[in-house]
Amino acid sequence: MCGIIGYIGSKNVAPLLFNGLKRLEYRGYDSAGVVVSQDGFHIKKDIGKVDEINQKLNLLDISGTSGIAHTRWATHGGVTKDNAHPHMDCEEKITVVHNGIIENYQELKRNLVTAGHRFKGQTDTEVIPHLIEEIMKRGRNFSDSTTAALKSLEGSYAILAMNKNERKIIAARKGSPLVLGVSDTGHFAASDIPAFLEHTKTIVYMNDYDVAELTDNSFRVFNLLENREVQRKIDSVDWDIKQAERGDFQHFMLKEISEQVETIQKAIQQDKKILDDVIQSIRNAHGVFLVGSGTSYHACLEASYVLSKVNRMHVNVVLASEFPNYEHFLTSKSLVIAVSQSGETADVLEAVKSAKTKGSKVISLVNVIGSSLTRTSDAFLSLNAGPEICVLATKSYTSQVALLSLMSYALSGKYDEGKKKLTYLWNEVYHLTSLSVREKIKELAEKLQDKDHLFLIGRGLQYATALEAALKIKEVSYIHAEAFAGGELKHGTMALIEKGTPCIVFVSEENEKEILSNAIEVKSRGGYIIGISPKNNEIFDFWIKVPEVHNENPIVQIIPIQILAYQLAVLKGLDPDRPRNLAKSVTVK
């Protein structure tokens, strides 16, 4: 989704904005722009990648020490230069960048057009600078006019605004992420921390309805709901800028796959007191819901099988986008466990909102601390995976699975045993991400790269793994990949199997006989069988060896597929870090 960054201080702003935009690229975008304030506004924007726009327009060639910038992921209005942010008012005195959706923009625009405002593009955002301009015409200053304009906006926003005649940046958020960075040489505001991490680790998380005024050496926060100035805590992050850089890796995706050796270990390093409280809440609850989207949903599904098997416990696993349809079952005794890497997924936040309206307790498992989800939950556990830049969730997924697994052990009073088992995975993950395994998987990728369709089957835990594996392959290689519970193919989809149709089969000790018999059904119709299995079998046309680690199988079985998806993208000349049409955090419903 869109990314925004702004800076005001003593440093030359253009390189800060350019580097900030580069670090926001992973969120997904189709156009970008910057505006620097120096004796008027100097604006450069276009469609395309930040590097392409820089080559064309030289984004670094604007001097000045305050400015704002934006990467746009089109929602309202096509991908055009005019629709790229920053946007201006009629007189070009006000400039705005925005992430989110202004739901009442049509009505606002109609009124503004009637009042004589001229619009250049079709975005919802463009109403904001015009609205501020309109209010300023009535004699109010820039800050008051911006606050008044914000009050008339419906929908979600993270906004940065500047006035040509005043040295300040106004930063406001409601429902879209925005964080402030504080340094000796100035102030930053951005959609997320990596955008300014190389300059400061001192941050201020903004709450919804907060409006901050940033100057060179101060910041003040006003809250629109409380209608007063508020104090926000100055925090710090222990992220290292190296974690947000590719280093020697060709792509973030490969870097993040390789990091799983450490990140799985970090996921199980939890504050025992907080974990115990969470476990107690699960025990006390009358009805537990596990909620997530995409990959995070698959982690929830994995956990539901483990909880059923190990803890004899039924949990409701619900896609976040579908969750509002379940709110009729919620009571003040229900517990919602929301799982999300970003903590900013709109569907997840909406689910949490509906749970809260019923008085249910919300606990979240999140990677980005300070995100909206951590701040709206009653308690949260951190995935501790460090910044995940590639659009595809890889290390955050195995961290989710590891943490949920640790919770299941703790729930059955076997915390130490669980921790030991999960710690032991270190060796296995190290081997699975090694060059020799990657080379072997590359051979498979070469065989599959020209295929249009691919099927994946598994049973129980391996069914959830198959779903996650299919998502990985689709997202990055654009090959149609569909996952089924082993027993389901024969209920219809078998009709699609013909000579050479690839089918990936996830095998574990527990379901070996049944899933192999499903694989034989595919093989007898000409299918090409790829076994992800601890043991080889004559029916496999290609075998990838994984260890048998029982309830931890989902972790070791997904890694080869993450690598396969990566290799497919590279072989097909695609960018694994930024697949088409996708955004890292999906902040719209």
Phi-psi region of 346 (alpha: psi -120 to 50; beta: other; left: phi over 0): alpha
Residue of 2, 300, 390, 503 with catalytic role:
2
Burial (CB count within 10 angstroms: exposed 0-12, middle 13-18, buried 19+), residue 89: buried
- For residue 471 the two structure tokens come to 């998502």
Question: Is the Cβ of residue 135 or residue 337 nearer to ligand M6R in the bound state?
Answer: 337
d(CA 37, CA 166): 10
Question: Is the Cβ of residue 288 or residue 471 nearer to ligand M6R in the bound state?
Answer: 471
133 in Cβ contact with 118 (< 8 Å): no
Q: Would you tell me which residues interact with ligand M6R (CB under 6 A)?
A: 293-296, 340-342, 345, 348, 391-393, 471, 475, 582, 585-586
d(CA 228, CA 206): 15
Q: How far is the CB of 294 from ligand M6R (least distance, A)?
A: 2
Question: Is the Cβ of residue 17 or residue 363 nearer to ligand M6R in the bound state?
Answer: 363
Q: How far is the CB of 288 from ligand M6R (least distance, A)?
A: 19
Q: How far is the CB of 59 from ligand M6R (least distance, A)?
A: 28
- For residue 115 the two structure tokens come to 């009042």
Q: How far is the CB of 578 from ligand M6R (least distance, A)?
A: 11
d(CA 152, CA 105): 10
129 in Cβ contact with 123 (< 8 Å): no
Phi and psi at 507, nearest 5°, equal: -115, 135
d(CA 288, CA 51): 47
d(CA 510, CA 550): 8
Question: Is the Cβ of residue 27 or residue 174 nearer to ligand M6R in the bound state?
Answer: 27
Q: How far is the CB of 199 from ligand M6R (least distance, A)?
A: 25
Question: Is the Cβ of residue 64 or residue 324 nearer to ligand M6R in the bound state?
Answer: 324
d(CA 316, CA 307): 11
Q: How far is the CB of 99 from ligand M6R (least distance, A)?
A: 15
How many other C-beta atoms are found inside a 10 Å radius of the C-beta of residue 452? 8
How many other C-beta atoms are found inside a 10 Å radius of the C-beta of residue 380? 22
Question: Is the Cβ of residue 94 or residue 291 nearer to ligand M6R in the bound state?
Answer: 291
The answer to whether residue 584 is catalytic is yes
326 in Cβ contact with 299 (< 8 Å): no
Question: Is the Cβ of residue 127 or residue 300 nearer to ligand M6R in the bound state?
Answer: 300
Question: Is the Cβ of residue 67 or residue 343 nearer to ligand M6R in the bound state?
Answer: 343
Amino acid at 170: I
Amino acid at 488: E
Phi and psi at 7, nearest 5°, equal: -150, 145
d(CA 188, CA 182): 6
Q: How far is the CB of 585 from ligand M6R (least distance, A)?
A: 5
Nearest residue to the partner ligand M6R, using Cβ: 294
Question: Is the Cβ of residue 295 or residue 518 nearer to ligand M6R in the bound state?
Answer: 295
300 in Cβ contact with 339 (< 8 Å): yes
539 in Cβ contact with 519 (< 8 Å): yes
Helices 395-411 and 415-432, interaxial angle, to 10°? 160
Q: How far is the CB of 579 from ligand M6R (least distance, A)?
A: 8
Amino acid at 427: N
Question: Is the Cβ of residue 371 or residue 508 nearer to ligand M6R in the bound state?
Answer: 371
Using the CB atoms, write b or e for 551-585: b if 16+ within 10 Å.
bbbbbbbbbbbbbbbbbbbbeeeeebbbbeeebbb
d(CA 395, CA 559): 9
Amino acid at 415: Y
Amino acid at 216: D
Q: How far is the CB of 13 from ligand M6R (least distance, A)?
A: 30
Residue of 266, 421, 523, 584 with catalytic role:
584
Q: How far is the CB of 393 from ligand M6R (least distance, A)?
A: 4
- For residue 149 the two structure tokens come to 């304009």
Kindly list the catalytic residues: 2, 584
